[in-house]
């Protein structure tokens, strides 16, 4: 009988660290994208707003942009009936860029605050409706993908923590990590393609 060479302690530690890294990446990316796509599709932040404003003039908006370090961003998957309607905006797109959300009156200078006007041309209304439809469909599609990646992460944890099978955990973890990277890359690329506002808010 041929004895298998024992895996050194160092290699076992490295494998465990890689498994934990894969799980962390899969869970963090999937939860982050699920939270963000939910906001894009519904306009509702999962964690609520840190501050609420009933009035929001030009100076306050400018100051809010400065404090955020970039544009505040509304949800491109919904429309706003008129300027001044209370909407949620966020500072930063998603982890690790996301910082906080605010509730403010809708303003034309806020990217993603898709305000409708009674006297607007039909071409603008149609373009906005097409944008909203595309963003909502993409949001729900990638929300489903993120749920799948989260499932892969939990499967990795099951093999690692419950079955104590580090070899299977490593294989599942590697697939999870690659899937999470592909998920984020394809979502970002597709969003830049369908949403002209996606370049703002980073």
pLDDT 10s digits, 23-75: 999 999 999 999 999 999 999 999 889 999 988 888 999 999 999 988 899 99
Nearest to 87 by CA among 60, 108, 59, 58: 108
Mean pLDDT of 134-145: 96
**Which of 15-54 are b and which e, b meaning 16 or more Cβ less than 10 Å from the residue's Cβ?**
beebbeebbebbbebbbbbbbbbbbbbebebeeebeeeee
> Is there a contact between 90 and 45 (Cβ–Cβ < 8 Å)?
yes
Q: Do 26 and 150 touch, CB atoms closer than 8 A?
A: yes
pLDDT at residue 151, as a whole number: 96
Task: Give yes or no for residue 147 having a pLDDT over 70.
Answer: yes
pLDDT > 90: percent of the chain: 67
Q: Which residues pair with 87 in a beta bridge?
A: 104
Predicted pLDDT at 1: 45
- The average confidence (pLDDT) of the chain is 90
pTM of the entire predicted model: 0.86
Map residue 46 onto helix, strand or coil.
coil
């Amino acid at each position: 009988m041929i004895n298998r060479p024992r895996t050194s302690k160092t290699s076992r530690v490295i494998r465990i660290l890689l498994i934990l890294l894969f799980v962390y990446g899969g869970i963090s990316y999937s939860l982050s994208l699920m939270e963000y796509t939910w906001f894009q599709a519904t306009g509702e932040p999962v964690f609520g707003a840190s501050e609420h404003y009933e009035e929001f003039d030009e100076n306050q908006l400018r100051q809010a942009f400065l404090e955020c370090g970039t544009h505040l961003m509304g949800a491109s998957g919904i429309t706003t009936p008129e300027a001044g309607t209370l909407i949620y905006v966020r500072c930063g797109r998603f982890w690790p860029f996301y910082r906080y959300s605010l509730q403010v009156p809708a303003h034309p200078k806020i990217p993603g605050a898709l305000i409708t006007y009674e006297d607007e041309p039909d071409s603008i209304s149609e373009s906005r409706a097409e944008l909203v439809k595309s963003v909502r469909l993409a949001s729900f599609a990638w929300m489903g993908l993120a749920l799948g990646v989260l499932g892969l992460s939990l499967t990795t944890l099951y093999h690692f923590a419950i079955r104590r099978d580090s070899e299977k955990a490593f294989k599942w973890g590697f697939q999870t990590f690659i899937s999470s990277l592909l998920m984020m890359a394809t979502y970002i690329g597709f969003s830049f393609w369908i949403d002209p506002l996606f370049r703002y808010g980073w």
